[in-house]
């Protein structure tokens, strides 16, 4: 995100602090991304719609408290969404679901300009399903949501070094399962 884009987001937050109707600009900009982020953790459209609505209601209700923390405004929405998903699973006492989207995985392979087969893709999905939820969450944020480590740390309420460590451990586990050297071309 460029400095100009970040500045526009903060201007939108400032307008929303004065006039809640101005919050609509941010809602429109981030609704689809937050909906998809939640959906990958629920695999249920109705539940996702409820949690997404709750996320934006909480954000709107707390926009007057928003303070710059060195990350884009979007990280604030992701943090609220992550908290709402976790709260739902704690209350329902059910296991968190991660819906691995083959389209996103194909895009990752394509970005790396690596050759891959359907067998490799199927194995990757299988191996990712075996990862602990906290590792899947950092991989989702890092590679599918394209968040940097500072944003991941903010969203998950962990240190930046913990965000890096979780990411690298998840990648190492995948590497071991594949029994090959995995290339990592991430943003630092």
pLDDT at site 48? 95
Q: Quick one: three-class SS letters along 74-104?
A: HHHHHHHHHHHHHHHHHHHCCCCCCCCCHHH
Q: Is 31 left (phi over 0), alpha (psi -120 to 50) or beta?
A: alpha
pLDDT at site 164? 94
pLDDT at site 72? 87
Just give the CATH number of 3-92: 1.10.1740.10
pLDDT at site 188? 43
Domain ranges of the chain: 3-92, 102-178
- CATH number of this structure's domain 102-178, picked from the four choices 1.10.10.10, 3.40.50.720, 3.40.50.620, 1.10.645.10: 1.10.10.10
List per-residue pLDDT tens for the chain, 188 residues long. Answer: 777 877 888 888 999 999 989 999 999 999 999 999 999 888 889 999 999 999 999 999 999 999 888 888 999 999 999 999 999 998 988 777 666 665 556 666 555 556 666 777 777 777 777 788 888 888 889 888 889 999 999 999 999 999 999 999 988 888 887 765 444 444 44
Taking alpha carbons only, the member of 59, 81, 97 closest to residue 145 is 81
């Amino acid at each position: 995100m460029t400095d100009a884009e970040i500045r526009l987001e903060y201007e939108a937050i400032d307008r929303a602090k004065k006039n809640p109707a101005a919050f609509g600009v941010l809602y429109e900009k981030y609704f689809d991304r937050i909906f998809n982020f939640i959906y990958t953790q629920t695999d249920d459209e109705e539940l996702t719609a409820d949690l997404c609505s709750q996320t934006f209601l909480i954000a709107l209700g707390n926009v007057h408290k928003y303070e710059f923390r060195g990350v884009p405004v979007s990280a604030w929405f992701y943090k609220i969404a992550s908290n709402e998903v976790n709260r739902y699973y704690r209350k329902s006492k059910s296991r968190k679901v991660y819906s691995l989207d083959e389209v996103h995985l194909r895009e990752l392979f394509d970005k790396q300009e690596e050759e891959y087969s359907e067998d490799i893709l199927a194995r990757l999905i299988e191996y990712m399903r075996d990862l602990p939820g906290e590792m899947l969450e950092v991989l989702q944020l890092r590679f599918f949501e394209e968040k940097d480590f500072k944003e991941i740390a903010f969203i998950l309420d962990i240190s930046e070094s913990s965000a890096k460590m979780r990411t690298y451990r998840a990648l190492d586990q995948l590497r071991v399962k594949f029994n090959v050297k995995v290339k990592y071309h991430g943003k630092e």
